[in-house]
Amino acid sequence: LSSIGYRLKCQLNENSKMLSYNITLPEMNHNEIVGWQGKEIDKNALSLVWIDIRYNKNIKRMNITNNILKDRVASNNHIDVPSEIASHRLASCLYLVNYVDWLSYWCAILHGTDPSPVKKISRLKEELSKRP
């Protein structure tokens, strides 16, 4: 599901105009978790979004990580695939793609941001297309 996490990151960046990044388990529980100790981290600016964690070892990792980082993030959320489609991989992936796209849209709306324009990307393309 790392590709779904990457899509969420990209959609939050582009549609919601929110800085976002993607990391997978178990990598997050190695070097990454130490980086969360930084004093410059603004708790109110960070949330964790877990995507369809369903394997017992990863559920345990998620719960422990949430406990360790509870003072470093504003919230943590777990996006679950409904049980009636969870056994179908393609249906699960399509459900999650649709979910994260709508999530990025509603994040934009809730932050008072128009999800359509990508002015910075347009400017970059314009600048790159100029002849030297």
Q: What are the residue numbers of the active site? A: 14, 30, 125
Nearest-angstrom CA–CA distance, 1 and 49: 13
Specify whether the CB–CB gap between 65 and 33 falls below 8 A: yes
Chain centroid offset of residue 8 CA: 5
Closest CA to 15 of 119, 104, 111, 125: 104
Nearest-angstrom CA–CA distance, 104 and 79: 13
